[in-house]
Amino acid sequence: MAKRDYYEVLGVSKNASADELKKAYRKMAMKYHPDRNPGDDQAEARFKEAKEAFEVLSNPQKRAAYDQFGHAGVDGQAGGGFGGGFGGGAGAGFSDIFGDVFGDIFGGGRARGGAARGADLQYNLRLSLEEAVNGTTVEIQIPTTKTCETCNGSGAKPGTGRKTCTTCHGRGVVRIQQGFFSIQQPCPDCGGEGQILEDPCRDCGGTGRVETKKTLSIKIPPGVDTGDRIRHSGEGQPGEKGGPPGDLYVAIEIKPHPLFKRKGADLTCDMPISFATAALGGEIEVPTLNGRVNLKIPAETQTGRVFRLRGKGVSPVRGGPRGDLLVTVHVETPVNLNREQKELLEAFERSLDPDGTASYAAKHRPKQHSFFDSVKKFFDDLRGD
């Protein structure tokens, strides 16, 4: 049976916030949890469905994969149910399920003293158009942490140690009662470790680690574009208590180029041409990212005409044919004319309509002639002629 859309399961929109997801899941769990619906297989199925949806959508990486690829992007990553049932077997108890939902309110359902995955990092990298199209390798510096040399990672001031936490008496957890819920949460004083420092190390503040930077060599594949992200597994923040490190995401942004603009796999370029070249035709040199090429301009070319140079664009990073270069020509009006040049242009203008009847104008300037015919008809219609 095909799975339902996770957003539909929880009854939220695709841009729902983390708080909205939790609220929707809590509502579903309160209604369909097997402990409140004993023997109701349909309620149990709805609860499993809601929990699977919440586990995916509450995880930023899984949610991004689901948004892009649907269920195929997260199959095998969700919780996948509760084994042999609920309420006494391998299934999760009511209060255990809600440990995740109320994590932010009551401090979480798992002891903080355990291993924790490091945070993901994002580095915003600006590239030139040439670097993005051809690919490159760049070196970047990212923040990280290393073991504190003063305390050798213990977090304690040299010569001191740890003592039993008086709040949890060394257990690492405390329990609080909220209505019919009994929530176990990490001890707020010792963070779930059961011990506290007698005197924290001054250099690391008791964390056992100090901030530093590391240099990475990042290979940029050809064809990347603004908005693309390159993932480097394990290059994020280090994990805690032996947990795995997070990932590094390199977000690509392309700098503006003085000549070209990119539209998908195609490049565009505006090219000025002279009045004589536009009227008589000729050949011009056009820049490309791989050098200059010659482009033939046919006679009577109008400004705004687009010429396509095939294969002079970009090879997409995800595969596909190489794009084209689209050259838009713009006829440039001469400026700073001397007296002789002005007289020549005036003579040329008179030659287009020597008898003053405008019959030649329709032949040599059809667009202008058509425009003024439209203007005349417009005003004639206004007068009712």
Q: Which residues pair with 282 in a beta bridge?
A: 297
* CATH value at residue 294: 2.60.260.20
Residue 129 included in any domain: no
Return the pLDDT at 370.
67
Residue 303 included in any domain: yes
Residue 216 included in any domain: no
State the total domains in the chain.
Answer: 2
CA distances from 60 to 18, 53, 55 (A): 10, 13, 10
Residues 165, 171: Cα–Cα separation, whole Å: 8
Residue 383 included in any domain: no
Residues 148, 203: Cα–Cα separation, whole Å: 7
Residue 305: HSE in the Cβ half-sphere, 13 Å Cα cutoff: 13
Domain span at residue 303?
260-333
Q: What is the pLDDT along the chain (385 residues), one digit of tens a residue?
A: 568 889 999 999 988 888 888 888 888 888 888 777 888 888 888 988 999 989 889 888 788 878 876 777 676 544 443 333 333 333 444 444 444 444 333 333 344 445 678 888 999 999 999 999 999 999 999 888 888 889 988 888 898 888 998 888 888 888 876 666 667 788 887 878 888 888 889 888 888 888 889 999 999 999 999 999 999 999 988 877 677 888 999 999 999 999 999 999 999 999 999 989 999 999 999 999 989 999 999 999 999 999 999 999 999 998 889 999 999 999 999 999 999 999 998 898 888 777 666 555 566 666 665 666 676 666 666 776 5
Of 61, 79, 101, the position where a domain reaches its end is 101
DSSP, collapsed to helix, strand or coil, labels residue 207 as coil
Residue 6 included in any domain: yes
Return the pLDDT at 30.
83
Residues 269, 260: Cα–Cα separation, whole Å: 5
Q: Which residues pair with 19 in a beta bridge?
A: none
Task: Characterize the bridge pairing of strands 248-254 and 121-127.
Answer: parallel
Residue 154 included in any domain: no
Residues 6, 51: Cα–Cα separation, whole Å: 10
Q: What is the DSSP-derived secondary structure letter of residue 91?
A: S
DSSP string of 340-358, one letter each residue: HHHHHHHHHHHHTSTTSSS
Question: What does the radius of gyration of the chain's CA atoms come to, in whole angstroms?
Answer: 35
Residue 121 included in any domain: no
Task: Characterize the bridge pairing of strands 229-232 and 248-254.
Answer: antiparallel
Task: Judge if pTM exceeds 0.85.
Answer: no
Residue 325 included in any domain: yes
DSSP, collapsed to helix, strand or coil, labels residue 271 as strand
First and final C-alpha spacing in the chain: 73
Strand (E) or helix (H) holding 327: strand 325-332
Residues 138, 132: Cα–Cα separation, whole Å: 12
* CATH value at residue 21: 1.10.287.110
Name the amino acid, one letter, at 122.
Answer: Q
DSSP, collapsed to helix, strand or coil, labels residue 254 as strand
CA distances from 69 to 3, 340, 360 (A): 14, 69, 63
